[in-house]
């Protein structure tokens, strides 16, 4: 997992996507989550992000993530 932080508009997403594209072939499961701040501020946004991440890295759809704490445990496992 990689986190990039800085002021808006300086190209964080572009850098993150370039790094992701350059290393994605080295992993069996991976996913790129864009607009995390915007999505996480919505109701159930964090649960949605967790479900999206788990679906991408595990190659499974319709995963049951019902709470942020439950999602944290699933990601850790």
Per-residue pLDDT of the chain in tens (77 residues, 90 and over written 9): 777 889 989 999 899 999 999 999 998 888 888 888 899 999 989 998 998 888 888 888 777 888 888 888 888 88
Instruction: Say how far apart CA 48 and CA 31 lie, in whole Å.
Output: 14
Instruction: Say how far apart CA 41 and CA 17 lie, in whole Å.
Output: 22
pLDDT confidence of residue 3: 79
The region that residue 28 occupies, defined by phi over 0 for left and psi between -120 and 50 for alpha, beta otherwise, is alpha
Instruction: Say how far apart CA 28 and CA 45 lie, in whole Å.
Output: 26
pLDDT confidence of residue 55: 86
From residue 9, alpha-carbon distances to 4, 26, 74 in Å are 13, 29, 33
pLDDT confidence of residue 70: 83
pLDDT confidence of residue 74: 83
pLDDT confidence of residue 20: 92
């Amino acid at each position: 997992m990689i986190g990039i932080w800085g002021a808006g508009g300086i190209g964080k997403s572009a850098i993150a996507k370039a790094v992701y594209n350059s290393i994605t072939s080295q992993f069996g499961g991976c996913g790129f989550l864009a607009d995390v701040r915007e999505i996480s501020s919505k109701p159930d946004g964090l649960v949605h992000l967790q479900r999206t991440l788990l679906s991408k890295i595990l190659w499974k759809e319709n995963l049951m993530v019902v709470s942020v704490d439950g999602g944290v445990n699933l990601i850790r496992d």
